[in-house]
A and B are shown apart, each in its own frame.
Chain A
């Protein structure tokens, strides 16, 4: 044991000479409160300075691409909304559009609008989670309460329509689920959106817009958060594009690229909305872009409710879905970024191959260059700002 003199002697020595902090390897994870799942980071550090980070992934690899080769198309829909559970509903859309495109199905307009509203609600739920969780990682716990309160309201709406909060499984090839349940009794019941859904949606969207202002006040006025995010983890637009970083992370770097504007998978062209584009590409911009997207999504949902067409919810499809030979890649703007499915059908009930392109996989592959040369506390700030879900990384 050290006696008092020895401690005094050591502290003197520490002051007199420069601390030797040689190359040390620091393991962060696989279980760590800030990693949103099982991600392991192997960081080589010198004191507080990080000079090499290797993300180790695969702890959640569930082999959905292989499973898709032995499942029918309707079965795959219930699999793929588990890829990214924070926005499960939005995951299904590109796969459905790809299947419908190969089959040559025309989805009724009302079904498309319901899909659009639910996709944007999923975006609200995902972004609100980030609005609260990210400041929490930086030490501010209050925004989480406000964000989760609104998220519950949005998820209640989703649950009212689909019966599920995270894995709605509400989509069908050719439309959306037309009956609330199966069986002879259900046929007599209403086969559409629940009563009062559209009015409730308008009320909740107004609440979301009001809360987004509250959250902005709470976070944008917090000097600690500003100091920890502004100018930290700057991602250049060239690097973001070359790594395939997409979604809010790409737009934060100043690239005006939103698939809702560019691709034609849902009737976004009938709505009036703006894309949020950041300036510097630092952690703060990534937070700010998502805040603006919450407001735009809420406005889009209100517009879609006003424009909601009437009509059937389901195109005419055979009871056994057989998809003709064909191949297409459909991508969509998921809350996390570009989500796409490359579906190769050789005819029959199961696809020959489904390549799943998930947003978080590319978004965290940027980590090694982005974290190089930062400080250990910045790892948490940068990692949190990328807003990834490990299920979306590993698939």
Chain B
């Protein structure tokens, strides 16, 4: 099996094999962006031609500007789901994340269960958490949640119910640290910082 000089070389090679739109290799993570229509084809090429037999995980991100929980993105983003599939080889253990954008009004993407059978549970999880549909998955029922559960918890529009019922005891959810300790109180400053 071929080894690469650097992570950039490997990123270039994988991107060419799977027919990527663009690719990045920042912070030690190779990310390869492909079109949704070519999702299964690209994942198959990653396994067979790019020689990445190890299936690590599959999940999604809800990209949205209006969030109910957490902080919104720093800059305005295009409203979409990003489906990611992480695979790796076993010679040098470099992970490759394949990524495809799925529009929110038509959240359908091909299932890759026929390529990596381990994607079964991961797709079921992504489907229940993000309201995604994996076309070709034989049994896309809920995995963690009960069958009568309403909503898709990992969507940014889904509020944390515990916070609705009982608000966070602080003034805000995530409080800033005080700039200086109160005068006479013992100091909790980190001496090394």
Binding site for B on A (CB under 8 A): 57-58, 61, 63, 65-67, 69-72, 101-102, 178-179, 182-184, 187, 191, 238-239, 241-246, 255-257, 259, 261-263, 312-314, 316-320, 325-331, 338, 340, 342, 344, 346-353, 355, 357, 361-362, 365-366, 369, 394
Using a CB-CB cutoff of 8 Å, which residues 37-91 of chain B contact chain A?
53-57, 59, 61-62, 69-74, 84, 86, 90
Q: How many residues of B contact A (CB 8 A)?
A: 53
B118 close to A242 (CB less than 8 A): yes
Distance between B74 CB and nearest chain A CB, rounded to angstroms: 5
**Supplied contacts A244-B118, A261-B93, 9 more A-B pairs, CB within 8 Å:** A58-B143, A242-B53, A314-B190, A320-B177, A327-B29, A340-B86, A347-B74, A350-B71, A352-B71
Does any Cβ of A come within 8 Å of B26's Cβ? yes
A58 close to B144 (CB less than 8 A): yes
Distance between A213 CB and nearest chain B CB, rounded to angstroms: 31
Classify the interface of chain B: helix, strand, loop or mixed: loop
Q: What separation, in Å, do the CA atoms of A353 and B57 have in the docked complex?
A: 15
Distance between B137 CB and nearest chain A CB, rounded to angstroms: 14
Q: What separation, in Å, do the CA atoms of A101 and B180 have in the docked complex?
A: 28
Which residues on A sit within 8 Å (CB–CB) of B174? 70-72, 349-350
Distance between B165 CB and nearest chain A CB, rounded to angstroms: 15
Which residues on B sit within 8 Å (CB–CB) of A246? 54
Distance between A302 CB and nearest chain B CB, rounded to angstroms: 26
Q: What separation, in Å, do the CA atoms of A148 and B36 have in the docked complex?
A: 51
Which residues on A sit within 8 Å (CB–CB) of B57? 244, 340, 342, 355, 357, 362
Q: What separation, in Å, do the CA atoms of A369 and B120 have in the docked complex?
A: 12
Which residues on A sit within 8 Å (CB–CB) of B116? 242-244
Across the interface, name the chain A residue whose C-beta is closest to B178: A319
Which residues on A sit within 8 Å (CB–CB) of B90? 241, 255-257
A-B contact pairs, 7 of them (CB 8 A): A70-B69, A71-B174, A179-B190, A257-B54, A326-B27, A331-B95, A365-B120
